[in-house]
Structure 1
Amino acid sequence: MSSTPPPPYGQSQLSAVQVLGGGSAGSSAHVRSLTAGLVARGVRVTVCAPAELEKAYGFAGAGAEVVTVPRRSDPMSVAALRSACAGADIVHAHGLHAAVRTAFALGGQVSRSRPGAGSGGPAGGRVPLVVTWHTRAHAEGARSHVVRLMERRAARAAAVVLGTSSELVDRARSRGARDARLAPVTVPAARPPVEFVESKARAELGAVERPLVMAVGSLVPFRGYDVLLDAARVWRDHATAPLLTIAGEGRERGALQRRIEAEDLPVRLLGRREDIAELLAVADVAVLPSRWEARSVLAQEALRAGVPLVATAVGGIPELVGDAAEFVPYGDGEGLATAVLGLLGDAGRRGELAEAGVRQAATWPTEDETVAQVLSVYDELTGQG
């Protein structure tokens, strides 16, 4: 592990624990970036996460001590988390499941006593818990009641809830959060490798002489891929029918693949990919058909890359992208197809959206600004500000 610089004169080193549960791409990348920024500022960081997330994101390489905590919520996992948090000045959980597990682990725990620490924490001297809501859980029927209870538990256990969109801040307040604040998280920018060749990438995808449309995200119902396939059916018989590629994995893959084959749709499921930046760089249009999103990773990467975006006007998407996208209502397959085909046939409009996307991306907080905001919360809660 890399060494950390000493804390300011007269202060002891702040100890922060970052907790990840399932770890979406956005939250995991944020924790990696946050860890590196905190370590650079002299904070001692421990990351508690499943082993597969450490392998994918390399928190140890960012200077953290890594404690492997499985995704499951059995007593052994909670005990491992409790042990990792013992003596910490601040604990920061990312996501609903991580927040609930951490709240159980911290129950009754008292923070280490030392000058200048802990004075800003919750009543009773417990270790202050910060929770970031990166997105919201999607559940229906009886499961939705369980999710509401989990949200209440997480919101009320936290000294501060940080929401990545205004809607999530409002949701945290409605669930009983004492202090909920907007904290827009910007996913670190990805860059295609120097040796990247556009023609080769398009050839590998099968889109040499046809437009390429790209979607990215887990294959789960709320992503709206059933509606996206409706759109692909509309443009299937178009003279220059675009190829739709979807990068991601999930429980809906089988059903989506069967429909693609049954209806002979111009769609390829790519599975989980590590080269999203390269794939986006060759796309003519990116599409986000979700029922709900907070700060979509795809939207951020598309705007940064200057790729025109068609998206549903849901959740935090309008707040994130401003006027740098073509918006369609959720569930409107024909409208989605019309918007995509309209952009593919209008090079001028694609250019306008590409320029608007780069301008919009420049308004998002930098990684450094994100770290500074989080650290100011830590200082406030531990009395080090």
Structure 2
Amino acid sequence: MVLGRSAGGVGAHVDTLVTGLRELGHDVQIVTADSTACTFGWPDAHRLWPVHGGARAPRGLVDWHRVMRLAGTVDVVHAHGHQAAVVAAVAVARARPRPRLVVSLHNDLPPVPSTAGGRARDAVVRRLVGWALRRADLVTGASTDLVELARALGARRAEPALVPSPAVGGLLRSEPLGLPERNPFLVAAGVPTDRPLVLSVSRIAPQKDLPTLLGAARLSRVPAAWVVVGDGDERLRTRLEDEADGIRPPGGDGPVVRFVGARTDVATWLRAADLFVLTSRWEARALVVQEAMAAGVPVVVTRTGGLPELVGDAGSLVAVGDSQAVAEAVDRLLVEPSTRARQGAAGRAVAATWSTPDDETRRWVDRYATGTSGMT
């Protein structure tokens, strides 16, 4: 497994897949960055993420050599993400004997910058990623648009591969928190208990477009507590919290916005929530949306990436960057308990049909084994 820097869903998916493969008796080696190994508790990981330029260039060259040498000792190299795809493709090209190369795309390529220099850098990135994908024996995408991207960049064989959340099974068996549990839980977090809870679980990062979420909280006409669970860019969080502090609706009876940071009890937050909102600019099959649906929480998400495919008719889809549309969808659900209950039940019913992580691990074993036909 080759993975760069990750603190979120991609790393969590690799962690689940590695655990499942090892439980089935397979030997799995992990090449990643030191920060990723620490985040996911991989003490045996090869912390060889290549370093480029500057004073650490010699170390980077040593790491490249070690990755190439390791690639010659395995049957399959499975890269996760664009950067890892390039690293793995170089390693596999030099490895003897040559292992099979599998690349999984979990995110879209960054948007093309508007400047000439930015466009030139984007062209270089696309050429590098395309070069790596053309050398892969198999490329998978976490959503249909990523499969189409892989094919557009020249992948010889591309297909979807689901990324299930390991928390879905437990949430399907759970029930919403009753008031005796819910109220003390919210009070301990500094969240009002006299109004509905609108929850977002998100990294603090530009891709998540949290300013649109705050804009929706400002425009909402139904009193609610809006809570963001997650950490990330500290400077961005400071700016967002300053903006949230300025939300003072007429009459003082409007929404309250609170950032509670990273939490280990996300499942409990979902069980306490009346509504889940995610305003990302792009997502594949966001793990937290899967979890919200499994918990029976109605979801309002942006119409982007793999979210329409994931949610279907079991949730509310809104345009990217449209705070007004988010506010209207939230207000409608908050004032219509029957619609909220129906949508939550529909989401849970859809979640019950999804493959489990164990199912997907077995599919990956089949992909690794049956992908030998026609491979060089």
TM-score (norm 2): 0.84
Distance 2:363 2:307 in 1: 22
| C-alpha deviation, 1:301, in angstroms | 0.9
**1:323 partner SS:** helix
2:227, 2:260 within 8 Å by CA — same for their partners in 1? no
Distance 2:124 2:5 in 1: 17
Pairing of 1:366-377 with structure 2 (within 5 A): 366-377=356-367
- What's the counterpart of residue 127 of structure 1? 99
CA drift at 1:239: 5.9
Q: What runs of 5+ residues in structure 1 fail to find an aligned partner? A: 1-17, 112-125
Q: Distance in 1 between matches of 2:2 and 2:272?
A: 35
Shift in Å at residue 66 of structure 1? Answer: 2.4
Q: Distance in 2 between matches of 1:103 and 1:273?
A: 36
Give the Cα–Cα distance (whole angstroms) in 2 for the partners of residues 185 and 203 of structure 1.
34
Paired residues of 1:89 and 1:382 also in contact (CA < 8 A): no
Match of 1:268 in 2: 258
Cα gap change, 1:152 to 1:226, in 2 (>3 Å): same
Using the alignment, how far apart are the partners of 2:261 and 2:48 within structure 1? 26
Q: Match of 1:89? A: 75
Quick check: 1:249 aligned with 2:246?
no
| Cα separation, 2, equivalents of 1:144 and 1:291 | 19
What is the root-mean-square deviation in Å for CA atoms of aligned residues? 2.4
Greater alpha carbon shift after TM alignment, 261-270 vs 97-106: 261-270
2:47 match = 68
Q: Which amino acid in the other structure matches residue 308 of structure 1?
A: P
The Cα of 1:24 is off from its aligned counterpart by: 4.9
User: Offset of 1:233 from its aligned partner?
Assistant: 1.0
Between the aligned partners of 1:76 and 1:336, the Cα distance in structure 2 is 50
Question: Equivalent residue of 2:107, what SS?
Answer: coil
Partner residue, 2:166: 188
1:110 Cα shift?
1.8
Q: How many Å apart are 1:240 and its aligned residue?
A: 2.2
3-state SS of 2:96 partner: coil
1:209 corresponds to 2:199: no
Note if 1:199 corresponds to 2:183: yes
Q: Is the 8 A contact 1:295 1:316 kept in 2?
A: yes
Separation in 1 of the partners of 2:14 and 2:102?
13
- 3-state secondary structure, aligned to 1:161: strand
1:56 paired with 2:39, answer: yes
| 2:285 alignment partner, one of 295, 299, 305 | 295
Residue among 283, 287, 309 paired with 2:273: 283
Instruction: Name the counterpart of 2:132.
Output: 154
Secondary structure in structure 1 of the residue aligned to 2:186: helix
User: Of residues 341, 361, 365 in structure 2, which corresponds to 1:351?
Assistant: 341
1:13-53, Cα deviation, whole Å (9 max, x unpaired)? xxxxx111122522222212212222232211111222333
The 3-state SS of whatever aligns with 2:95 is: coil
Between stretches 65-74 and 164-173, larger displacement belongs to 65-74
Q: Could you say what secondary structure the match of 2:38 adopts? A: helix
In 2, Cα distance between the equivalents of 1:103 and 1:46? 17
2:149 paired residue number? 171
1:178 is paired with a residue of what secondary structure? coil
| Alignment partner, residue 215 of structure 2 | 230
- Deviation (angstroms), 1:175: 0.2
- Mapped contact 2:7–2:36 kept (Cα < 8 A): no
Which region of structure 1 is more displaced relative to structure 2, 168-177 or 138-147?
Answer: 138-147
Query: Any idea what the Cα deviations from partners look like across 1:147-170, whole Å, max 9, x if unmatched?
Result: 323431331231110111111101
The one of 303, 310, 323 equivalent to 1:313 is 303
Could you list the runs of 5+ residues in structure 2 that have no partner in the other structure? 53-59, 249-254
CA distance in 1, matches of 2:263, 2:82: 25
Letter in 2 for 1:181: E
2:110 matches 1:138: yes
- How many Å separate the matches in 2 of 1:156 and 1:221? 30
In the superposition, relative to structure 1, how do residues 137 and 240 fare at CA in structure 2: closer, same or farther (>3 Å)? same
Number of corresponding residues: 345
Counterpart Cα distance in 1 of 2:344 and 2:300: 12
In terms of mean alpha carbon deviation, does 81-90 or 323-332 score higher? 81-90
2:10 maps to 27
Look up the SS of the partner of 2:30 in the other structure: strand
| Distance in structure 1 (CA, Å) of the matches to 2:204 and 2:112 | 17
CA distance in 1 between partners of 2:271 and 2:66 (Å): 42
Give me the identity figure in percent. Answer: 35
Bigger shift: residues 128-137 or 82-91: 82-91
For the 8 Å contact 1:133–1:163, the answer to whether it is kept is yes
For 1:249 and 1:365, the matched residues in 2 are separated by 30
In 2, Cα distance between equivalents of 1:87 and 1:159: 18
User: How far apart, in 1, do the equivalents of 2:219 and 2:76 lie?
Assistant: 52
Query: Which letter maps to 2:25?
Result: G
TM-score (norm 1): 0.83
CA-CA distance at 1:308 after TM superposition: 0.9
The alpha carbon displacement at 1:135 in A equals 1.6
Looking at structure 1, the residues matched to 262 and 65 of structure 2 have their Cα atoms a distance apart, in angstroms, of 32
1-side partners of 2:145 and 2:201: how far apart?
23
What does residue 23 of structure 2 align with? Answer: 40
Contact 2:50 2:61 in 1 (8 A): no
Higher fraction of helix: 2
Contact 1:213 1:244 in 2 (8 A): yes
SS at structure 2 position matched to 1:135: coil
